[in-house]
Amino acid sequence: MSQFLSNYRDFLKQATKSDKYHGFDVRALVRVEPMLSFLFHDWWRVEFNGLEKLPKEGSALIVGNSGSFLPWPATMLLYALMSSRVNPRRVHIVADMDWIKDERLFASFLELGFVPFSSANMKRLFAKGELVAIFPEGAAGLARPFSARERLIEFDWVKLLPAVEEGVPIFPIATLGCDEAIPVLTNLDSIAKMLNLPSFPITPFFPWLPFPFNLASLPTKWNMSILKPLSYEKAEDRDLIEETSMKQSQFAEGEIQAELNRLLRQRWRAK
């Protein structure tokens, strides 16, 4: 704990002031910090660019592509923002969490800084000047097959609606490597329906190996880059807001996909 205090002093100052309505607990972060640090620095060697683009204070929305099988990009973003020397900030990760029936699991997600998706929740966070991240592909992104890796699934524009209503700046973030870290071979819909899960992906590890090993991943090289914010005008009219939201979500998706294409070309053509 003391080590954590000295390492993350700036972050803790910020986190103590931040919104804790949903049960955020720094002690949970202290517990998982060694694992996140190992994954970030040693396992995936994440190359993080564009952190200085984020505002130091005030609300902003980060929109990204979700990796396959587990929401690792969200936690890596959390860690990157937490450990940054330049711009340490707490990020609220908004996600669809209704399918988590186990209360303890649900609570542990909330302790890390996850927030269930709803328009009211997001607006409240924006009003308090918090940094929010969202991964609008949702559960479909987690079950993305390996053959379609680094190809985005259409963004759900409704998830950008609260941000557009409030006129909050939107930053796309592209994550390369998260789809290859856990190759999803296939998705069994019938079993997912039976177990009331959004998807049931089969990976080389997942249902086969005993518990901690079935969540294993491959040590791929990750590249995360925050892109320049989308430019749009805050509208008052309801129809206009919806149209803007739809357009901006499509544009954000395009920006992320184009950045992924660029990064992939760099990777393949590097000598």
Binding site for other proteins (CB under 8 A): 148, 151-154, 189, 250-251, 253-255, 257-258, 261-262, 264-265, 268
DSSP string, 206-262: TTTS-HHHHT----PPPEEEE-PPPP-----SHHHHHHHHHHHHHHHHHHHHHHHHH
**Is 166 in a helix, a strand, or coil?**
helix
The DSSP element (H or E) to which 116 belongs, if any, is: strand 114-116
Q: Is the Cβ–Cβ distance between 131 and 92 less than 8 Å? A: yes
CA dist 9 to 88, 95, 180, 239, 270, Å? 9, 28, 34, 45, 39
The upper half-sphere exposure of residue 122, i.e. CA atoms within 13 Å in the direction of its Cβ, equals 25
- 87's CB contacts (< 8 A; 6+ apart) are 51, 52, 54, 56, 81
The upper half-sphere exposure of residue 144, i.e. CA atoms within 13 Å in the direction of its Cβ, equals 23
In this structure, the chain runs to a length of 271
10 vs 180 by CB, closer to other proteins: 180
CB of 241 to other proteins, least distance (A): 19
CB of 48 to other proteins, least distance (A): 23
CB of 265 to other proteins, least distance (A): 7
57 vs 189 by CB, closer to other proteins: 189
35 vs 258 by CB, closer to other proteins: 258
76 vs 173 by CB, closer to other proteins: 173
CB of 250 to other proteins, least distance (A): 7
CB of 222 to other proteins, least distance (A): 19
CB of 60 to other proteins, least distance (A): 21
Q: Is the Cβ–Cβ distance between 249 and 156 less than 8 Å? A: yes
13 vs 151 by CB, closer to other proteins: 151
**Is 175 in a helix, a strand, or coil?**
strand
148 vs 185 by CB, closer to other proteins: 148
